[in-house]
Each structure stands twice: as structure tokens, then as C-alpha cells.
Chain A
Amino acid sequence: MADSEVVRAGEGEVYDVELDENILKANRELAEENQNLLKKNNVVAVDVMGSIGAGKTSLIERLADQLSKRYRIAALKGDLTTTIDAEMIRRHGVEVVPINTGKECHLDANLVRKALKRLPLNKIDLLFIENVGNLICPAEFPLGSEKRLVVISVTEGPYMVVKHPFIFLDAEVVAINKIDLASAMGVEIKNLRADVKKVNPKSEVVFTNGRTGEGVNRIAEALGL
């Protein structure tokens, strides 16, 4: 169409433009690209999300110990800053790419895409993507994983699920960690489980102790590993 045929508003006129631009779509499309890349390389990817200090890293360490005979494992480790946790996971023979988000409260599909480029994907079977500790923002940004593990612990009190229900909607597996501290904290773990099951009836809820490894085999089973 010739430019002269287009009807334009004259100077000083108010112009209404329909834009219909979906702001969250860009991340979703990148997440799909990541998912395709992982599938092509036969890598099973698991998001590990959860509150700060709930024990996400410890559970990945225990899972790595239990699964390293059957899978070649790698991990992406998101934190605002430092590589402390990345080093912890690395000690278990896992190839780790640390991702420092600076001030961002979550990983996004673009950061994951960049990190995936650093991994020899054809030599990996299983990838853990540990998000920044946060029960809100990470749920907004799919990364391309096949499965989602959400970790909370009894030290955060009895109402973690009631207060942050939305992140549980997408979880395949929920670990309630630090169960050895439940009575000291006055927390009934069965109530936490009941809350998760009410929000998401198809999720598997597993009680764990990340220090001893108790319950970790059940996380693996629930993830189909």
C-alpha cells in the first residue's frame, strides 16, 4: 500500500492505537525454545523453586548423590550474587553454571538460554535449574523445564502455603523440608501438606530432611527419575 493511501491524524490530533502487545509472551517464547533445545538433547530439566533458606540447594546435593550413578547431572544455580551454593553443588560431581541476577528476584528464560550455551548438553541427562529464593516472582517466568519442584520448610512457619498459594499451582512435586525441626517450630506438617493438596490436588507432596537425605528418594520417584 502506498504511503499516501494511509489515513493519518493531523498535527495536534489525539490518536488511539490498538497495540495488543503481550509483555509476558517474549519470555514464554524463549522458554519454549529452551524446552525444545533440552528435548533435542534428551535432557530432563527440573525447576527448583522455593523460599529463601528452605533447603533447595541441600536437596539438589542429596538428589545428585542418589542419582549420579544413573544420570549425568548438571545444574544452573540462580542467586542475586555469590557462587557459594554453586560450589556446594559442584562438590557432588555436578557441572554447575552459576547465574547471578544482580538485583532481579527471579531467573528468566533469556538468562537460562545464555547459561545453557555453557553446558555440553549432549553429555547431560538431567538438569536442575535452581531459581532465586522467592515464592512469588519465579512463578511468573517459565524457563523451559519439564517439571517443577517447589521447596518450603517448617522453619518458615505453618502458613507458607496459605500465604503464597499461586506458586503451587504449577508444581508437580512439593517438598516440605526440615521435618526434623517441625515439633521445635510447632508446625504440623500434615496441615502444610493438606494446604498444598487443596491448592493443587495433582501435586505429590514429600516430607524431607535435606541434611540426612530422608525422603529425597521419594522426590526422585515423584519426578519420575
Chain B
Amino acid sequence: MEMHEVSITTQIVESVKTEATEQKARKVLEVYLQIGCLTFLNPEQVKFWYEILTKDTILEGSRLVAEEVRGSVHCSACGYSGGLGQVDSSLPHMLMPTLQCPECNGVVKVVDGRDCVVKRIKMLI
């Protein structure tokens, strides 16, 4: 079964292609991507599909830089803003993400980290 990195990477390639065509680029050299830590995208898999999906396009051979950006949460009870907390699981030495506020007993809301953004494209005009 294909994982959803394929469909997301297809969209990434399409959006870069559209922009490159609009700029009348001869070649795309580098694509800079930000992947939120709270998405379900694995940067290595995105890179793998990027190489395959860019074959025979003006993106072929371009470098994909995928930076992971930390997610952030907010607690309305104590005002905590920052990264998602972690807790021990039922398995020894195994931590899980948690919506429990790292500062108080409140429950946090996810405010950031669920995006996958094509930030910049370097191209040869």
C-alpha cells in the first residue's frame, strides 16, 4: 500500500512546477520545505518520492531540503506556550506525546506543527 507521502510529494512537485513555469525557469536547483513535527510525514520518505516524481521534469536532479519544524501548543489554564509534552507509556523507557500541559494539569491545544510548507525555490532562469 502506498503511504500518503506519495500524494503529498506529488502536490509539492506540482506546486514547484507551476511556480517554475510561471517564472520561465530553465531548471529548478533547490526546493526548501518545512515539515511540521505534528504532521505524519516522514522527511526521508518525502525525499525518496521526490527523486522519483521529479524524473523527466525541470525539477530533476534538484536538491530537496526538508527541515522539520517543532510543533507548538498552548494551555489556556496556565498560559504555557511551547512544545508538546511527553509522558511515560505502559512500556518501560518509552515516551509518548501528550496533550497534558507540561506546566499544570490542564489540557493543551495544538497551535502549530501541522503544516507542510514549500518555503523557497532556487531556480535557474
Contacts and interface: CB of A to CB of B under 8 A. Distances in A.
Contacts of B96: 161-162, 165, 195, 198-199
By size class, the interface of chain B is 35 or more
A10 B1 contact: no
Given A19-B118, A166-B40, A198-B100, A13 B3 contact: no
Contacts, number: 129
Given A22-B116, A105-B4, A159 B91 contact: yes
B2 to A, nearest CB: 5
Q: Which one of B87, B94, B96 has the greatest number of beta carbons of chain A within 10 Å? A: B96
B120 A17 contact: yes
Interface in B7-29: 7-8, 11-12, 15-16, 19, 23, 25, 29
A186 B68 CA distance: 38
A187 to B, nearest CB: 11
Interface stretch (B47-55, B56-64, B107-115): B107-115
Interface residues of A, number: 45
A104 B87 contact: no
Given A12-B124, A15-B125, A195 B89 contact: yes
B121 interface: yes
A161 B89 contact: yes
Contact of A11 (B87, B98, B107, B125): B125
Contacts of A14: 29, 122-125
B29 A23 contact: no
Interface of B: 1-4, 7-8, 11-12, 15-16, 19, 23, 25, 29, 38-41, 87-91, 94, 96-100, 107, 110, 114-125
Interface of A: 8-26, 80, 103-106, 136-137, 139-141, 158-159, 161-162, 165-166, 169, 191-192, 194-195, 198-202
Q: Give the top 8 A-B pairs by smallest Cβ distance, nearest first.
A: A162-B89, A137-B4, A191-B90, A165-B96, A23-B116, A140-B40, A9-B125, A198-B87
7 contacts: A9-B125, A17-B120, A20-B117, A22-B116, A23-B115, A162-B91, A198-B96
